[in-house]
Chain A
């Protein structure tokens, strides 16, 4: 079931997870480029300052993806030092997404880019997540024990490597997430250019992913820290009011109505 090492290149192991992260970046970049070309064909070319926004998103995502999980314990003395965490700490896609969002906002502010960019990024993010999670599926703890027929069973060596019970069917939680991301990708491609408020595809995707992730955490197998919830669930609970407030605000302004000429601008202004 698990294949943590993809290949061996002259004595140098190529780790499956890292290879999938690279593939995810390439796939997301290709889809992003295709969307730019599509808009150019439709006569709506994107300002080339978008590349500064891409750079900001990448830098923010990488930085917070690495450092976002530093605060593991409220007692700060129990946390690793930031340098140790940078070198050896675990990575988090949730904090990486937050970092990418903040990085993109900061870059837009720096270069004076006022247009909404979420519709451009959303399908690429979903595709990248789907591909990247294949690496997790093949190299990490699959999930909690289950009696469902599609549970995956690890051999003794694999189970010992990821800290799972051997010979017990486990939830393939990363397969659930890959399925979610592919469904989200199909929905995002179908919904693009549909909403009156530009840029809302990413907001809706993030809200949907947050809801899904909160649920799937119950079978992910991450450490339960308090009240039966894991750290990612607490992170999501902290972010939930912001997401709900944003969606409600755009909804009230008519931003999720079908796009019509002239409506986009007024809905956007109402939402701001």
Chain B
């Protein structure tokens, strides 16, 4: 029994895991909702400067591109931070993205109705 296999040392922890705190979750939710709101702002700007055809207008394109970026950003960062047990920001990003996705179509629809009925062009 001279050639004992010495197991390799365990890998060092990737960083200190923090307990999940409500304040950090709220911060993550706030960041995600702010990103969603920014895409709505793009929609609003596009609606104000649209030129006739709404469906192919810049507002809708800006909203779609913005939403795609928010989707990728929130989900990737949310999952990475959650797995690293960052203390809640990642969880907040994921929750905020999902809740925002439910709210954005409602607010976007309202914005479109408001902008279109305000100008009376449709």
Q: Which residues of A come within 8 Å of B, CB atoms?
A: 9-15, 18, 21-22, 25, 48-49, 51-52, 54-56, 58-59, 61-62, 66, 83, 87, 107, 110-111
Contacts and interface: CB of A to CB of B under 8 A. Distances in A.
A13 B110 contact: yes
Given A12-B113, A51-B25, A52-B82, A25 B95 contact: no
A9 B110 CA distance: 9
Contacts of A59: 75, 78, 94, 97-98
A54 B95 contact: yes
Contacts of A18: 102, 105-106
Given A11-B118, A12-B113, A55-B91, 11 more contacts: A9-B110, A15-B109, A25-B99, A49-B85, A51-B88, A52-B91, A55-B94, A58-B95, A58-B99, A66-B101, A83-B64
Contacts of B109: 13, 15
Nearest to A51: B91
B48 interface: no
B117 interface: yes
A15 to B, nearest CB: 7
A12 B111 contact: yes
Nearest to B100: A62
13 contacts: A11-B117, A13-B109, A13-B110, A22-B102, A49-B85, A51-B20, A51-B25, A55-B95, A55-B98, A58-B94, A58-B95, A62-B101, A83-B64
